[in-house]
Structure 1
Amino acid sequence: MYDQVTDAPPLFTEGLRALCLKAAVFQMTDDENTAEIPVAIPVDEMTHAMIAQPQILARITARCGVQIIHQTNQEHTDYRVGDYTHQAYELAWGIPPERYWIGHEEAQRRLGVLRMKYEAAGFLNMGQAHVIDFAEVVAA
């Protein structure tokens, strides 16, 4: 079960930590591609929301003296427990919360369940298309 009200604050923390890990990798390697480390899908979604607030992010990075790297076309959401991202996170903050750092296989399984429910409701391509006829009368 997901609740945006209660999950948003801890997920914000996880998104910030993911961006910190990417910034650290970039600082060590000076390579934007290498800095695109695997991130769990829920955490990656939060980083998108954070990056959509450019003024706040700019202030944070200016204060910290770091450069945030996130290129949507090169991101990796194939995070797996025990991978490089997991190990780096663990060294920095301890064990990542399993609620948000969902391994790739489990995330794909859950997305499959969502996909079936969306399609049953008439939504295709994970909500990017639909077969709903708005002229059709729908009972309230």
Structure 2
Amino acid sequence: MDADKGPLFREGLRALAIKAAVFDLTSDERLAEVAVAVPVDEMTHAMIAQPQLFARIADRTGFHLIHQTGQEHTDYEPDSFTHRAYRLAWGEPPARYWLVKDEVDRRVKILTARYASIGMDRAGREHDIEFTAP
């Protein structure tokens, strides 16, 4: 986590910048919800959990923060709009953080099986463990 937090924070900012740019061009929040890779999306959630900080950044820089959890797309793919926009702005996105949908799906299957093997369901949000009183 120590090695990834800085670079992943930068990627989260870049994803939000792409969303803000699309919104500035279109004034359409739905179109601004461009496809983002799952690790980057998770970082944007952590970042947005600091609303006062982001409100100050948005006010200072004049951008509109766009992130609608119910409308987000985590089906990032190479040569998608997001990938092309990122490349034009900053070069090739780091593959470590910009995982394509098939790779995310593969990893989720592995994690789901591991969670299930210890009695956890729904990505660790539910369990069927019976607790008994001491």
TM-score, structure 1 length as denominator? Answer: 0.93
Alignment map for 1:43-122 (pairs within 5 Å): 43-122=40-119
Q: Partners of 1:136 and 1:91 in 2: how far apart?
A: 60
Structure 2 unaligned blocks of 5 or more: none
Amino acid at match of 1:110: R
Report the secondary structure of 2:35's partner residue.
coil
Identity level (%) = 55
How far residue 136 of structure 1 moved from its aligned partner, in angstroms, is 8.2
Measured after TM superposition, the shift of residue 134 of structure 1 is 2.3
Runs of 4 or more off by more than 4 Å in structure 1? none
Give the counterpart of 1:42 among 27, 36, 39. Answer: 39
Alignment correspondent of 1:131: 128
Q: Which structure 1 segments of 5+ residues have no match?
A: none
* Equivalent position SS for 2:123: helix
Instruction: Please tell me the root mean square deviation across aligned C-alpha atoms, in Å.
Output: 1.2
TM-score (norm 2): 0.97
- The answer for the alignment partner of 1:10 in structure 2 is 7
Aligned length: 134
Partner deviation per Cα, 1:95-140 (whole Å, 9 max, x = no partner): 0000000000111110110110011011001112101122289xxx
Residues 110, 63 of structure 1: alpha-carbon distance in 2 compared, 3 angstrom cutoff: same
Summarize the Cα distance change of 1:136–1:122 in structure 2 as closer, same or farther, 3 Å threshold. farther
